[in-house]
Amino acid sequence: MSEPLLTLSGVHTHIGQYHILQGVELAVPRGSLTVLLGRNGAGKTTTLRTIMGLWQASAGSVTFDGRAIGAMSTPDIARAGIAYVPESMAVFSELTVRENLLLAARGGAPDGARLDWIFGFFPALKKFWNYPAGNLSGGQKQMVAIARAIVEPRKLLLIDEPTKGLAPAIIDSLIAAFRELKAGETTILLVEQNFNFVKNLGDNVCVMDDGRIVHAGAMADLVADEALQQRLLGLSLAAHQ
């Protein structure tokens, strides 16, 4: 088997005086969609922010595509091929959808074929192309945020809870978009609390609790084992079904 695209080994992260990540071990295989599940406050967002260099790990290593990225700056990590879609949907409200995407394209104006591909699963973006992004609904803003991350090919997408607050029809278009991305060889690390959304989408699953990975395996194995689901996800399932 080839080396994972991303590996976290013994990663500890402190935020101020708080010891949040406590030895995270995580491997994201190339071309896979890996889901990071866990209850509120488990450390999922902190893991993504640590990978992105927004928090500095106090110990351990982060390796991406064969390079140690733990000491690199966030812009350098982005240039290395990682895109991050935070939970807060990073869009520029005053700018149009078009301008939001143009700004995200580092290599000049986005390729027309790529835009058509994005419009294929997010038609609303074409419709509201010249509207300020701030006027869009929450689901549409989420589409803009994801479109910004995929406007150019990236090796790895980090996506934090994309379904939060979204209507089922929009969740369906997100599922289609993630399937397409995966088919196009983009590796995805997806933080979610909505098990129903990810159970047919993820190849692998990691479950976090108290700043550590407490389970890692194939999603199909977790889906087939209700006792394990209950043990690992009882709290979050009860809260989110």
Ligand X SMILES: Nc1ncnc2c1ncn2[C@@H]1O[C@H](COP(=O)(O)OP(=O)(O)OP(=O)(O)O)[C@@H](O)[C@H]1O
Q: Binders of ligand X among 187-216, rule CB under 6 A?
A: 193
Q: Which stretch binds ligand X (CB under 6 A): 41-49, 63-71, 107-115, 129-137?
A: 41-49
Give the nearer residue to ligand X in terms of CB position, either 4 or 38.
38
AA identity, residue 97? V
Residue 45 in the binding site for ligand X (CB under 6 A)? yes
Q: How far apart are CA 15 and CA 57, in angstroms?
A: 10
Residue 43 in the binding site for ligand X (CB under 6 A)? yes
Give the nearer residue to ligand X in terms of CB position, either 13 or 96.
13
Give the nearer residue to ligand X in terms of CB position, either 98 or 199.
199
State which of residues 4, 28, 37, 38 lies at the interface with ligand X (CB under 6 A): 38
Count of residues touching ligand X (by CB under 6 A): 13
Residue 42 in the binding site for ligand X (CB under 6 A)? yes
Smallest distance from the beta carbon of 191 to ligand X, in angstroms?
6
Q: Give the binding site for ligand X (CB under 6 A).
A: 15-16, 18, 20, 38, 40-46, 193
